Structure 1
Amino acid sequence: MAQAQLSNKPWYKEVTQNQWRALIAAGSGWALDAMDVMLYSMVLVQVMQELQMDKTAGGFLATLTLLSSAFGGLLFGMVADRYGRTKSLMISIIVYSLFTFLCGFSQTVTQLAVFRLLLGLGMGGEWVAGAALITETWDAKHRGKAMGLVQSAWAIGYALAAIVAGLVIPLWGWRGVFFFGIVPALVAIWIRKGTKEPEIWEKMKQEATTQKKKSKPKLVELFSGKVLRWTILGAALSVCAQFGYWGLFTWIPSYLGTPVDQGGAGLDIMKSTTWIVIMQAGAWLGYVSFGFLADKIGRKKTFILFFALAALLVPFYGMSSDATRLLILGPFVAFFGSGYFSGFGAVLAELFPTEIRATGQGFCYNFGRGIAATAPTVVGFMATGMGLGAAFGFLAISFALAAILVLLFLPETMGKQLN
């Protein structure tokens, strides 16, 4: 009888205070991570003009950030498994906020490249620490929802970056935009004060200490036994998904702000900001919807739906230079072209055991990000000859390949209890 009453409760009434606290900590860190990382895209047109960069160089700097984020995700994943999820989360936020701030002092392309490289370490670390914290704190039946809500914070951060740029650029230029990036460091202090480690991690550490286990390095364990196939699948899926995302969303602000005679949409700064905010409203709905759908119909079906529709919509967006069509298509492109990220944290958590969970999540997600780091450079190079809109169409291949990988190889893990 008690079980029946429990099942009739709204899902949010089954969530504990500690679970909400973990979600807010991971979500706020992820939102501000997105804001700091995407500030570069918002000011890219101005930076290219002042520092005399072409599109290929502009894309390459974005690539550097993503490359270092891949290493950062792996590094902070191992830190999270050894020292705790919340400690890793806090340190990663401090790293990306500090180096975003320092970007504002750049006088040369080289200086900016160095700061973007170091910023990426914290960017990669935040996701893996937050994902491990959430997936181990929340129950299996609500894990997809939780990761959807956390991932949706990226859209909020992306929109915040556009708003900050729209307000700050007219007053203090692109340097002032980067200076604003120090704000997330304040969140790290809040996380340190009251966010608890997951019980499953605390239990694992206690057992390891009691038994004085001397295991092989956790990274090595990803490439042995039954875990190897999940490492390969997770990494391959991450490559396809992130190549499409970063190739598209790194360049969308520049595409909207580039003059029509140079292959862009020709929108002014305020229109570009408005279009991006509306687009990210669609992304937010996509992230949240993915989480609820994944808990309702399964991870596999939801992944296929989002990847397939992203593959169909992105080429149409690239072929549309009309401002009204871009306004209408934008939210749908962002909904399906972003929302699938909500599934990565839950699925990867359900494929790897506790002792290597954060390392496995960090490796797969950030290996994909490292390879996908080439996407902004590839799109920038292609855009030099054919324009950004046409280059976007090429990215549909990545989304289609991701759908095929899920269809053929990904097991359904909905409802799996972590161990």
Structure 2
Amino acid sequence: MQEAGMSKNKNYPQKDKKWYEEINRNQWKTVIAGGLGWALDSMDVMLYAMVVVHIMSELQLGTTQGGLLTTITLVASGIGGMLFGLIADKWGRKFSLTLSIVTYSLFTAACGFSQTLTQLIVFRFILGLGMGGEWTAGAALVTESWPAKHRGKAMGLMQSCWALGYAIAALITAIILPKYGWRAVFFAGILPALFTLWIRGHVEESNIWTTDREKRGRVNRNIMNNILELFSPEYKKFTLLAFGLSLMHLFTYWGLFSWIPGYLSLPPEKGGAGLDIFKSATWVIVMQAGGWFGYVLFGFIADSIGRKKAFTIFFTVATVLVPVYAVTRNEIALLLLGPFLVFFGAGFASGFGPLIAELFPTHMRATAQGIIYNSARAVSAFAPLVIGSLAEVYGLGPAFLLIGACFFLGLILLLFLPETTGKELESV
């Protein structure tokens, strides 16, 4: 009897591992590196939004000049994403990530020394280069380090850190601005540079990239070859479709969410919701909570049911939600709809890193992610201007209908993309 009992215990089925138990220490470190880099990126970029009114007052700038600085930063981020993608494919994901963080940290702090609009434009432009570069390098490092079945989760965790960085920027401003002024707020932006010391000492380079470099001998490869290969017959279709989806995403994000605070606070006769300052801020904070969950959960959903199905669900709901939100004036309805709008209207951003990574081979992966995503980011820099121009004629609410149309366009583009969920990233 005892022998039978022992046999039964021996053959008793073990519980399956939880997904997070399948991730090793280095893989977690890549997400920490990419995620914190992205959060600190968000923090440095959003510090400007927090103090722009004070900058305009001291430097005697108008609203057009204040908006121009945002556009310049976004255009530069597109250029930076392409540049650092090439660097990541040539010299490594870890090196590119470190360099991008140092770049945006140093030039955020430099903004605090600006005495003229010209100086601020130069510093914001170089800051933007690092901003775009961080996502490119971080996305390549994370997607290549994590197993295929959990790649979406990894990028969801990384992408969600943007919302955390936004909150950190608000906290820093609240602490420093009243006592020390807007220049000191920018000086705090140097702190992310210290984070690179941890990356250099604790994060390993992508094994896939290292193996590919050794097998192909690509240390001296002309990086222009990677750019040309994006438009070769083999990859041109994927390049154009991924660019179209990226442009749809970034145009809708900057076109919609850069104007949401204004929409909430503008009086109804000007096409807004007419909320006071306190309510507008509260409504925006509640919305960002929905965004955080959207970023994280999209990765889990995409790993479970597939990239295309997950994108389809989010795009479909966003196509409906944007027009509904645009015509809503009831305060409680706006509060309740807001988190869902950001959840479905922005959460799918987590899917672009894995999607582009799975469409292109290792030797050109970071180049593809950098050029496709960030060229779309550069074009989308004009989204706030387009929506603002339409709002002058029709009001912000009706102008948001263009955003709903963009989500519908995204649904059409999805029809032509292959399903890539579970694809292993081969080194050659």
TM-score of the pair, normalised by structure 2 = 0.88
Give yes or no for the alignment of 1:405 onto 2:413: yes
Gaps of 5+ in 2: 1-11
Whether the aligned pair in 1 keeps the contact of 2:387 and 2:399 (CA below 8 Å) is yes
Cα deviation, 1:303-353, whole Å, max 9, x if unaligned, reads 111122222222333344554443222211111111111100001000000
Q: Sort the Cα spacing of 1:132 and 1:395 in 2 relative to 1 into closer, same or farther, 3 A.
A: same
Identity %: 55
Q: Sort the Cα spacing of 1:5 and 1:75 in 2 relative to 1 into closer, same or farther, 3 A.
A: farther
Q: 2:387 aligns to what SS in structure 1? A: helix
Q: Sort the Cα spacing of 1:133 and 1:335 in 2 relative to 1 into closer, same or farther, 3 A.
A: same
More moved, 193-202 vs 205-214: 205-214
Q: Sort the Cα spacing of 1:46 and 1:271 in 2 relative to 1 into closer, same or farther, 3 A.
A: farther
Tell me which residue corresponds to 2:213.
205
CA distance in 2 between counterparts of 1:173 and 1:387 reads: 35
Cα deviation, 1:14-42, whole Å, max 9, x if unaligned, reads 00000001110000001111122223333
Cα deviation, 1:357-407, whole Å, max 9, x if unaligned, reads 10011111011111111112223333444444443333222222112211x
Give yes or no for the alignment of 1:145 onto 2:153: yes
Tell me which residue corresponds to 1:89.
97
Cα deviation, 1:273-326, whole Å, max 9, x if unaligned, reads 443332211101001111001001100011111122222222333344554443
Matches within 5 A, 1:46-57: 46-51=54-59, 53-57=61-65
Determine which of 239, 247, 252 is the counterpart of 2:255: 247
Whether the aligned pair in 1 keeps the contact of 2:85 and 2:137 (CA below 8 Å) is yes
Determine which of 300, 307, 322 is the counterpart of 1:299: 307
CA distance in 2 between counterparts of 1:401 and 1:177 reads: 40
Q: 1:329 aligns to what SS in structure 2? A: helix
The structural deviation recorded for 1:109 is: 3.3
Whether the aligned pair in 2 keeps the contact of 1:163 and 1:273 (CA below 8 Å) is no
**What amino acid maps onto 2:423 in structure 1?**
K
Matches within 5 A, 1:223-234: 223-234=231-242
**What amino acid maps onto 2:416 in structure 1?**
F
Q: 2:217 aligns to what SS in structure 1? A: helix
Count of aligned pairs between the two proteins: 415
Tell me which residue corresponds to 1:418.
425
CA distance in 2 between counterparts of 1:200 and 1:6 reads: 32
Matches within 5 A, 1:340-355: 340-355=348-363
Give yes or no for the alignment of 1:187 onto 2:191: no
Q: 1:415 aligns to what SS in structure 2? A: coil
Whether the aligned pair in 1 keeps the contact of 2:252 and 2:406 (CA below 8 Å) is yes
What do you get for the CA RMSD once the two structures are aligned? 2.7
Q: Sort the Cα spacing of 1:251 and 1:129 in 2 relative to 1 into closer, same or farther, 3 A.
A: same
**What amino acid maps onto 1:416 in structure 2?**
K
Give yes or no for the alignment of 1:11 onto 2:7: no
Cα deviation, 1:172-207, whole Å, max 9, x if unaligned, reads 444443333222222122111111011111111112
Give yes or no for the alignment of 1:79 onto 2:106: no
Whether the aligned pair in 1 keeps the contact of 2:323 and 2:400 (CA below 8 Å) is yes
Determine which of 160, 184, 188 is the counterpart of 2:168: 160
Matches within 5 A, 1:330-409: 330-406=338-414, 408-409=415-416
TM-score of the pair, normalised by structure 1 = 0.90
Tell me which residue corresponds to 2:8.
none
Q: 1:77 aligns to what SS in structure 2? A: helix
Tell me which residue corresponds to 1:177.
185
Whether the aligned pair in 2 keeps the contact of 1:77 and 1:129 (CA below 8 Å) is yes
Whether the aligned pair in 1 keeps the contact of 2:141 and 2:206 (CA below 8 Å) is yes
Whether the aligned pair in 1 keeps the contact of 2:90 and 2:218 (CA below 8 Å) is no
**What amino acid maps onto 1:368 in structure 2?**
A
Tell me which residue corresponds to 1:129.
137
The structural deviation recorded for 1:116 is: 1.7
CA distance in 2 between counterparts of 1:311 and 1:94 reads: 38
CA distance in 1 between counterparts of 2:222 and 2:129 reads: 28
Whether the aligned pair in 2 keeps the contact of 1:57 and 1:377 (CA below 8 Å) is no
Tell me which residue corresponds to 1:120.
128
**What amino acid maps onto 2:257 in structure 1?**
F
Gaps of 5+ in 1: none
CA distance in 2 between counterparts of 1:272 and 1:173 reads: 24
More moved, 222-231 vs 324-333: 324-333
The structural deviation recorded for 1:161 is: 2.6
The structural deviation recorded for 1:271 is: 4.8
The structural deviation recorded for 1:167 is: 4.3
Q: Sort the Cα spacing of 1:395 and 1:206 in 2 relative to 1 into closer, same or farther, 3 A.
A: same
Q: Sort the Cα spacing of 1:210 and 1:113 in 2 relative to 1 into closer, same or farther, 3 A.
A: closer
CA distance in 2 between counterparts of 1:363 and 1:279 reads: 30
